[in-house]
Amino acid sequence: MTRAIRLKNPNIGMHVEEIKAAIRMKGHTITSLSKSWNLDRTAISKTLAQPWPEVELRIANFLDMKPQDIWPTRYNLNGSPKTGHRFRKKNTTIVHVRNNQLRKAA
């Protein structure tokens, strides 16, 4: 069902589980692939959750695809990565601190 939806709207991209399955079908796990690239074992999982253009390119090359076909929302029409995504880490930290403060206050 998700494939049919994606064909109607190509801006959705691949689901995380589809990416993992494609990696497994080529004989690797996301951890083993990260290690084979001399990256932290969690590098691919982090990339599946948030933009990391360098690792996205490696994953796409491994799957014989283009990064913008896997993650169309992370790329401009010309294929260049969208900028401005690095601020998310800062906001996540702020939310985490606020949640801890709320827990302590309760």
Q: What would the pLDDT profile of 16-72 be if each residue is shown by its tens digit?
A: 999 999 999 999 999 999 999 999 999 999 999 999 999 999 999 999 999 999 999
How many whole angstroms separate alpha carbon 36 and alpha carbon 68? 23
Ordered by where they begin, the domains of the chain are: 2-105 (1.10.260.40)
Judge whether 63 and 26 are in contact, CB under 8 Å.
Answer: yes
75 φ, ψ (degrees, to nearest 5): -130, 150
This prediction has a pTM of 0.69
How many whole angstroms separate alpha carbon 14 and alpha carbon 76? 16
Say whether pLDDT at 102 is over 70.
no
How many whole angstroms separate alpha carbon 73 and alpha carbon 2? 17
